[in-house]
Amino acid sequence: MLRRVDPAVWRFGVFLIVVALGVGFALFRYRSHLSLNPAQLGETIRSWGYLGPIIFITVFILRPFFFFPSSLLILAGGIAFGAGWGTVYAAVGATLGGVVGFGIARILGRDFVQSRFGDALPGWGTTNWGGGLVLVLYLIPVVPITAVNYGAGLSRMALLPFTLAVVGGITPRAFAYSFFGQSLRHVGSGEFILALVLLSTLLVLPLYLRRRVNRHTARPPTPPNG
């Protein structure tokens, strides 16, 4: 007699397949030396005309399935739409894509992870995976946001604080990359140097803020006088 498989187990198996396919696509792109030139991609997006923003946002939504680099996409958006609209479209697309990634992990993987490892991960989703951490991770340019989306989805974090954290974190990041993409039209100009400074600041500032927050939360409370 066949033993009934726990639905959480096969759902988690499907989740692992989704992740594996995304990683496989990324490795294939890397090993095939496929050209990922942001200037060419930006010109391609611009050639789509009025459909450009719709396709651009749609690619962002589907990006979790292919592990396509978000930084490259935002850079191309800055080249195609400029810093202003590039930021708006990238923030909308990344937020929707973040919700998709969060939902995939929540539906397919969280029950298994919480049932198997919940006791070993106390506070996962309340302290370790709070909105503040997601916001900081989204701010840092080198952090892969797909991993953040999946991690938050596997935790106990609710969708609303996750979405708000994504919006708060991705908007400055999208502006920094979009502005840099726009400045690539004039390499060596004052705008280009300012964009580099902005990206560098965005790399360092979240780490500093996170350290300050950790130091503050770790400080023991001051006993009341008297």
| 151, 156, 160, 162 alpha-carbon torsion, rounded to 10° | -30
Kindly tell me if the per-residue pLDDT of 123 is higher than 60. no
AA identity, residue 173 = R
| pLDDT at residue 219 in the model | 53
Please compute the mean of the pLDDT values over residues 12-37 and round it to a whole number: 80
Kindly tell me if the per-residue pLDDT of 176 is higher than 70. yes
- pLDDT tens digits for 76-106? 999 999 999 999 999 999 999 999 999 999 9
Query: In the block, which residue shows the tokens 């611009």?
Result: 46
The segment with the largest mean pLDDT, out of 13-22, 54-63, 67-76, is: 54-63
Q: Which of 93, 108, 124, 141 is nearest to 20 (CA)?
A: 108
The residues, ordered by sequence, that sit 6+ positions from 14 with a Cβ below 8 Å of its Cβ are 108
Least confident of 38-42, 59-63, 76-80, 203-207: 203-207
More confident call, 105 vs 125:
105
Please compute the mean of the pLDDT values over residues 55-79 and round it to a whole number: 89
| CA 94 to mean position of chain CA atoms | 7
Kindly tell me if the per-residue pLDDT of 144 is higher than 70. yes
| pLDDT at residue 152 in the model | 92
| pLDDT at residue 224 in the model | 47
In this prediction, what percent of the chain has a pLDDT beyond 70? 81
More confident call, 24 vs 32:
24
Kindly tell me if the per-residue pLDDT of 222 is higher than 70. no
Kindly tell me if the per-residue pLDDT of 1 is higher than 50. no
105 by Cβ neighbours in 10 Å (0-12 / 13-18 / 19+) ranks as: buried
